[in-house]
């Protein structure tokens, strides 16, 4: 029997407990927007670390937009899932989808962190967080993006994942921390009692709070 989390806050606290070995080591917790951002702040607070976002977007299936056929990061690097062709994604469709999603990523960067560059994971413990893995595509793109910045250790942390997606992300990280891997996985939301949408305004507010904390610490 799998665990159903009350909400993202509940999942984040349980995930932070599983990451306790990194407490006090100033880890950089990088959340995948938008759903994981509230979780990222909770985990960073629990571990006495710092918090930021890693920006990636899934590439949508042409016939089922909720289903990912890949993902793209801020540099344009793209992961294409093995099932993309089976899902009906032609080369032309993928190119259009890349352009559309990359434009959204760049817009979000300007909105989320307009006054500063992203926090640098170089030489640090970087923990990439999402609220769950269905296909694993966005997590793979996020891990690749962070790996290119040379962290000392790269950790993938999620409350729940499909067994197949979890196996796929292992090759992109040094460690995977996952609380539940149910066989009957259909959607991330099925493992939360409350799973509201996180809006851009919520992300901006959380990042502003984090920035103020850093400013106080460095005064």
Which pLDDT belongs to residue 219?
58
Pairing of strands 125-129, 28-31: parallel
Q: What's this model's pTM, rounded to 2 decimal places?
A: 0.94
Which pLDDT belongs to residue 3?
74
Residue pair 55/105 in contact by the 8 Å Cβ criterion = yes
Render pLDDT for 182-206 as a digit per residue (tens, 0 to 9). Answer: 998 989 999 999 999 999 999 999 9
Residue pair 127/13 in contact by the 8 Å Cβ criterion = no
Tokens representing 103 are 């434009």
Which pLDDT belongs to residue 1?
60
Which pLDDT belongs to residue 213?
75
Q: Cα separation of 59 and 61, whole Å?
A: 7
3-state secondary structure of 60: strand
Where the chain has pLDDT below 70, the residues are 1, 215-219
Which pLDDT belongs to residue 212?
78
3-state secondary structure of 51: strand
Burial status of residue 64 (CB atoms within 10 A of its CB: 0-12, 13-18, 19 or more) = exposed
Which pLDDT belongs to residue 52?
96
Q: Cα separation of 143 and 59, whole Å?
A: 16
Which pLDDT belongs to residue 115?
83
Residue-wise DSSP of 182-207 = -SS---GGGGBS--PPPPHHHHHHHH
Which pLDDT belongs to residue 82?
92
3-state secondary structure of 117: coil
Q: Cα separation of 157 and 167, whole Å?
A: 13
For the domain spanning 8-54+119-218, the CATH number is 3.40.50.2020
- Where do the structural domains in the chain lie, given as residue ranges? 8-54+119-218
């Amino acid at each position: 029997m799998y665990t159903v989390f009350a909400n993202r806050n509940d999942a984040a606290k349980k995930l932070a407990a599983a990451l306790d070995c990194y407490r006090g080591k100033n880890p950089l917790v990088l959340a995948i927007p938008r759903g994981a951002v509230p979780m990222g702040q909770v985990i960073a607070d629990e571990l006495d670390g710092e918090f930021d976002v890693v920006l990636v977007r899934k590439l949508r299936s042409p016939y089922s937009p909720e289903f990912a056929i890949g993902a793209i990061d801020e540099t344009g690097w793209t992961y294409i899932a093995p099932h993309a062709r089976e899902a009906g994604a032609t080369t032309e469709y993928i190119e259009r989808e890349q352009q559309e999603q990359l434009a959204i990523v760049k817009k979000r960067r300007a909105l989320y962190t307009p006054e500063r560059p992203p926090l640098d994971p170089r030489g640090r413990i970087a923990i990439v967080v999402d609220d769950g893995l269905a296909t694993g595509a966005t997590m793979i793109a996020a891990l690749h993006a962070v790996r290119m910045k040379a962290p000392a250790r790269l950790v993938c942390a999620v409350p729940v994942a499909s067994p197949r997606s979890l196996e796929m992300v292992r090759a992109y990280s040094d460690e995977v921390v996952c609380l539940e891997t149910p066989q009957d996985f259909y959607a991330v939301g099925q493992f939360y009692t409350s799973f509201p949408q996180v809006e851009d305004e919520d992300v901006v507010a959380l990042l502003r709070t984090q920035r103020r904390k850093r400013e106080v610490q460095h005064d």
